[in-house]
Chains A and B, each alone.
Chain A
Amino acid sequence: MPRGEQPMVPDAEFESYYGRPILKEPTWKTPDVPLYLFLGGLAGGSALLAEGAALTGRPALERVARLAAAGGAGAGTVFLVHDLGRPERFLKMLRVFKPTSPLSVGSFILAPFSGLATAAAGSLVTGWFPRLGRLCGVAAAAFGPPLATYTAALLANTAVPAWHEAHRELPFVFGGSGAAAAGGLAMALAPCAESAPAVRMAALGAGVELAASTAMERRLGMLAEPYREGMPGRLTRVARGLTVGALALTAADTAMAATGRRSRVLRALAGTAFVAGSVTLRFAVFEAGRASARDPKYTVVPQRERARARGERKQSGALG
């Protein structure tokens, strides 16, 4: 534990092999993988926003969101491929389809999403095949929510205690965070006259993210420590500060808009804070998982507790 921090609960007694970790720390590189988690959320949310903008006749918002969806998916794919130990073999991902592997399922979400979002954005920018482009946009919007949330399954379907035990809430944390990022980016880049739905998406997404994070930490109990302590703890606090700050700026922006005055700067500032909060959150969750894998305490103590509870249930069953 870093200096200056007090343990929230007294350290649980446990045995280990010279304090060495039991689990292997994830080998996924940073910033590649946390950025990929963020970009997946941003792109998925943006594809939804783009289709909504197209349906409601907001061309400037549509343009920003379509480019964000295509750009996010493209950059995310680059980070994902770069993270591989053998990047030249990235196509091996599409060799089989395995529902037990979120990375396999995710590849089959990311690949069509990237293609469709790129086609939709390309059609919009060039003006070629507008109908086909729009159709691609609709399909991309269908793949958007899965793209923004499957990354939670990617982390949760591991033996890493702080990720696995969070599997019920993490998809909502990531989904909310993705909406906040997509809404936030559009708030920052689209004109005020068209970005009202982006404001709503960002604010609602941030609300979902904060509520789900709170529920997650409550359920995790001792396993919430890695999210609160040390470097991941600091990241969690920064992420939360940015998201709450963005909500406060959005409230001010909404109040001003109600009086008929609109500040482009204020809205852009709020949007940027949403995006920054979303990025930081992914780094926080990523690092918290690594910390929980490193310390044998988080492997041994919950497993001992689980085995003890099972023994008690068996005993009471045998007696009763």
Chain B
Amino acid sequence: MSFSPTSLFGRLDDVQSDAGYAEDHPPRKGFFTDTSVCIGCKACEVACKEWNHVPDDGYLLTGMSYDNTQALGASSWRHVAFVERPLDVAVTGFEAPPPPVDLGMPAVGPAHGEDQAASSGDSGVRWLMSSDVCKHCTHAACLDVCPTGALFRTEFGTVVVQPDVCNGCGYCVPACPYGVIDLRKDDGRAFKCTLCYDRLKEGQTPACAQACPTESIQFGDLDELHERADRRVAELHEKGVDVARLYGRDPEDGVGGDGAFFLLLDEPEVYGLPPDPVVTTRDIGSIWKHVGAAAAGLLVLGATSFTSRHLVPRFLSTSLGRRR
């Protein structure tokens, strides 16, 4: 294990070496999820559940959208978000669909050619669909705070929980800046996406990417995915889709870049993603420094309590006097 100034924060180009793997480790693997071609079919959610034996996480109709999975969690390792937004051509660059063509079929209801959206006063709806997943951060807070070593960095640069070590302390849960990992209530341990570690070891594609019918979820070497994503976003900008942007691509960001990154068509928070995540352990030095100062202060306070007879009456009269 090597410790460098960028082990906790900042750009880190070889995350596996930093974790102690020998130089001949495999290249870093990841996901590039291009949400501009996601059709919301949820095949990724199903494939993930099937392959990884992820149990049922409750049957709940949210009523808010087509999204009844709601969020990533211990038993949802892929989550397809559905966002309905009013269509604003000026902003998005996407054109409204052409009016329906009258085929001369018999029908009931409004006369043909009368656009339904127009009659209800809408100019149309823009669907944003995005398959969310664990980001497999370069600087992973869950891994940093895990006290048992159950969470570890694999030779592929991904972050995986070892269920036989996890004791369910739950520290990883509030540490994750994306709200990904969670405890499974009936089991007690923490679970999240493994980026199909077992399939990777066999040279296979993770189940979700394998099942994705539109190649919205692309799996591969992270370097290559970066290039592919850069080309795709340039292509969309050329077509006038100025809202297209990459999320989690920047190796200089608050988590050192994500192993699973995205092409989004709106602000991250619209999809339920944090706009500027930072790994909590960036501040671990400052945290321990302040704890050290407070502990030293407490020691002095204890000593003072036995040595100074006059301090407290004076302190009480001044501090309470000020409060009144």
Chain A residues close to B by CB (< 8 Å): 14-18, 20-28, 44-45, 48-49, 52, 55-56, 83-87, 89-90, 92-93, 95-96, 98-104, 107, 144-146, 148-150, 152-153, 156-160, 163-164, 167-172, 174-176, 178-179, 183, 196-201, 203-205, 207-208, 244, 247-248, 250-251, 254, 258, 289, 293, 296, 299-300, 303-304, 306-307
B146 CB within 8 Å of chain A: yes
Asked if A101 contacts B147 (CB within 8 A), the reply is: yes
List residues of chain A with CB within 8 A of the CB of B275: 300, 303-304, 307
From A100, A199, A307, contact of B284 by CB (8 A): A100
B297 CB within 8 Å of chain A: yes
Asked if B286 contacts A85 (CB within 8 A), the reply is: no
Of B10-18, B98-106, B264-272, which binds chain A? Answer: B264-272
Asked if B298 contacts A247 (CB within 8 A), the reply is: no
Asked if B167 contacts A85 (CB within 8 A), the reply is: yes
For residue B245, give the distance in angstroms from its CB to the closest CB of chain A. Answer: 13
User: Considering the chains assembled together, what is the distance between the CA atoms of A52 and B303 in angstroms?
Assistant: 7
Asked if A24 contacts B308 (CB within 8 A), the reply is: no
B8 CB within 8 Å of chain A: yes
Contacts A171-B295, A200-B304, A304-B275 known; 17 new A-B pairs at CB < 8 A = A17-B272, A24-B176, A25-B174, A27-B173, A27-B174, A48-B299, A85-B169, A100-B8, A101-B144, A152-B290, A157-B284, A163-B174, A167-B283, A176-B298, A201-B301, A247-B320, A304-B269
Asked if B302 contacts A179 (CB within 8 A), the reply is: yes
B296 CB within 8 Å of chain A: yes
27 contacting pairs across A/B (C-beta < 8 A): A17-B83, A17-B269, A23-B174, A24-B73, A24-B173, A27-B170, A27-B173, A27-B183, A52-B303, A52-B305, A98-B146, A98-B149, A99-B288, A100-B145, A103-B145, A104-B147, A149-B295, A149-B298, A150-B291, A153-B288, A158-B145, A159-B174, A159-B280, A164-B283, A175-B294, A197-B306, A289-B174
B311 CB within 8 Å of chain A: yes
B178 CB within 8 Å of chain A: yes
User: Considering the chains assembled together, what is the distance between the CA atoms of A146 and B291 in angstroms?
Assistant: 8
User: Considering the chains assembled together, what is the distance between the CA atoms of A18 and B169 in angstroms?
Assistant: 30
User: Considering the chains assembled together, what is the distance between the CA atoms of A244 and B316 in angstroms?
Assistant: 11
From B70, B189, B274, B312, contact of A300 by CB (8 A): B274
When each residue 200-219 of chain B gets 1 if its CB lies under 8 Å from chain A and 0 otherwise, what string results?
Answer: 00000000000000000000
Asked if B283 contacts A48 (CB within 8 A), the reply is: no
Asked if B294 contacts A296 (CB within 8 A), the reply is: no
From A26, A153, A172, contact of B174 by CB (8 A): A26
Known: A95-B165, A100-B281, A204-B312. A160 touches B174 (CB 8 A): yes
List residues of chain B with CB within 8 A of the CB of A26: 170, 173-174
In residues 125-155 of chain B, which contact A (Cβ within 8 Å)? 141, 144-150
Known: A15-B270, A16-B269, A178-B298. A203 touches B170 (CB 8 A): no
Asked if A49 contacts B297 (CB within 8 A), the reply is: no
Asked if B298 contacts A157 (CB within 8 A), the reply is: no
Asked if B287 contacts A156 (CB within 8 A), the reply is: yes
Asked if A84 contacts B167 (CB within 8 A), the reply is: yes
From A96, A163, A171, A199, contact of B294 by CB (8 A): A171
Asked if B312 contacts A199 (CB within 8 A), the reply is: yes
User: Considering the chains assembled together, what is the distance between the CA atoms of A93 and B309 in angstroms?
Assistant: 43
List residues of chain B with CB within 8 A of the CB of A144: 298
From B81, B147, B269, contact of A93 by CB (8 A): B147
Known: A98-B147, A157-B175, A247-B320. A17 touches B271 (CB 8 A): yes
User: Considering the chains assembled together, what is the distance between the CA atoms of A298 and B141 in angstroms?
Assistant: 19
From B148, B171, B180, B298, contact of A179 by CB (8 A): B298
User: Considering the chains assembled together, what is the distance between the CA atoms of A44 and B291 in angstroms?
Assistant: 14
B319 CB within 8 Å of chain A: yes
For residue A271, give the distance in angstroms from its CB to the closest CB of chain B. Answer: 14
Asked if B81 contacts A17 (CB within 8 A), the reply is: yes
User: Considering the chains assembled together, what is the distance between the CA atoms of A293 and B71 in angstroms?
Assistant: 15
Known: A17-B269, A145-B299, A159-B280. A200 touches B308 (CB 8 A): yes
Residue of B nearest to A53 (CB): B306
User: Considering the chains assembled together, what is the distance between the CA atoms of A307 and B295 in angstroms?
Assistant: 34
List residues of chain A with CB within 8 A of the CB of B181: 24
List residues of chain A with CB within 8 A of the CB of B302: 45, 48-49, 52, 145, 179, 201
Asked if A86 contacts B189 (CB within 8 A), the reply is: yes
List residues of chain B with CB within 8 A of the CB of A92: 148, 150, 165, 167
Residue of A nearest to B175 (CB): A158
Asked if A16 contacts B272 (CB within 8 A), the reply is: yes
For residue A268, give the distance in angstroms from its CB to the closest CB of chain B. Answer: 18
Residue of A nearest to B163 (CB): A86
